[in-house]
Structure 1
Amino acid sequence: NSPLHRLDDLGAAEAFVDSGDVAVVGFFENKDAHGYNEFLAAAAEVKSIPVAVCSNKEVWEKYNVTSDTISIFRKADLHQENLQLSKAKTVDIDGLKRFITMYSIRYITEYNQMTAVGLFKSGVKTHLLLFTNRGSGEYRKLKEQLATLAPEFTGKFLFVLIDGEEKSNDRSLDYFGLKPRDLPRVGIYDGHSDRKWLMSEGEISTDRVRSFCQSFLDRILQKVNDAGQPEARTEL
């Protein structure tokens, strides 16, 4: 008997997909389907992400699923990432856990080697970056603050948290000319132009970050830089 949430109709499926930043659904014809048991085992280990199974064909049609597929639904960039099991060379528990972890982009996603894959493969190429040290007192507050702001910029920015205390993030800090002692700071990286901007020092308030994002969307930031300002030191 499956311990997973079962989606038996369209209403249940829509409510489930809408229930959080990220939701994972295994679309399987039946319990004998290729990868079903591996999916259950992987789901049991991915604790922080809601996972369900569905064999209702009306739901399949709604989400454009035609064969046994694992889908990740993300609100941050309004994307559905599909793993079609018939096309997967091998299906194992570790591989499914990797797939779920890599593509689970949230309203604010913590940057690491796994999530980097999903972030850079996303259709949204502009990232609002919060550089902060996990051990600092303001870490949780700033993370929560930006997570509540991120929905305003759905499909325009991905909000990314970069822990300055994590050695593997040194390159990201260097790119913005930052050291862990300079944090917290906020920056924007635009993958389309491969350009970056750093919000000027001071309080990281919701209003300031909102204005910073908006100034990018209004192309004000880009013009400041075109006027010869140093790239990573844009004042706002």
Structure 2
Amino acid sequence: MPKKSIRFGVVDGCGFRAATWNLTVSAGEGPSEVYLSCRELKGAIHTSFHPSGKWHATFTQKTFDEDIKDVSPPDANRFIQKWQRPPEVKPGITLALKIITPWNAVQTEIVPGSKKFSEIKSAQEPKANQVLIVFLNPNEKIEITNFDEIGRLELNTGEIVVVLHHEIQIPKPNIPKESKGTLVKGRSKEDLESDNVKGLIFADEPNGTRVLWDCAVESKKTS
């Protein structure tokens, strides 16, 4: 199926970047499908904004079966998050997702000759970059201020999906006091002691907005 896409990521201007992202819209007949993926994960996880309004973040079935299923509870499935398309935050504007990249997450060296992407200037310490994935109703007169636009794609319905960004103070994530991580199949604690380990956190805000955190990981050895 033909596709249209926007590739983007945060860079520091000195040859380093954070995660890079690909927002893709199907360009065939019928309602457009919209997907967001982190390019470093090579398609293993993606977020789907289906025209039905049933949205989710999920592992591919192959990734779940080979790497996740055996280290998960018996009732686990490949879905990380599920939610219904939220109501408009303002007339004609639906906030689909946020991506937050703190200043210290820009750690990956940009390889010469790698695929180009739209570059977002990294936030200065102690701030973060916030990217918004927004759906716009073409029948409403809409003015967006205080954001820079990365790009936009038109859906077959006439609706427009837009990628915006701005710099913010780092919000305090709502993390449970007691939480336990699980290593995927084939990984060990030693992998977390490598240099430049990155983490992708799936979260939601009190108002129901879904958020992806692109973070640097600091691991501490325990005796």
Q: State the TM-score, normalizing by the size of structure 1.
A: 0.22
Larger helix fraction of residues = 1
Structure with the bigger RCO (C-alpha within 8 Å, sep 6+) is: 2
* Max Rg structure: 1
Larger strand fraction of residues = 2
Q: State the TM-score, normalizing by the size of structure 2.
A: 0.23
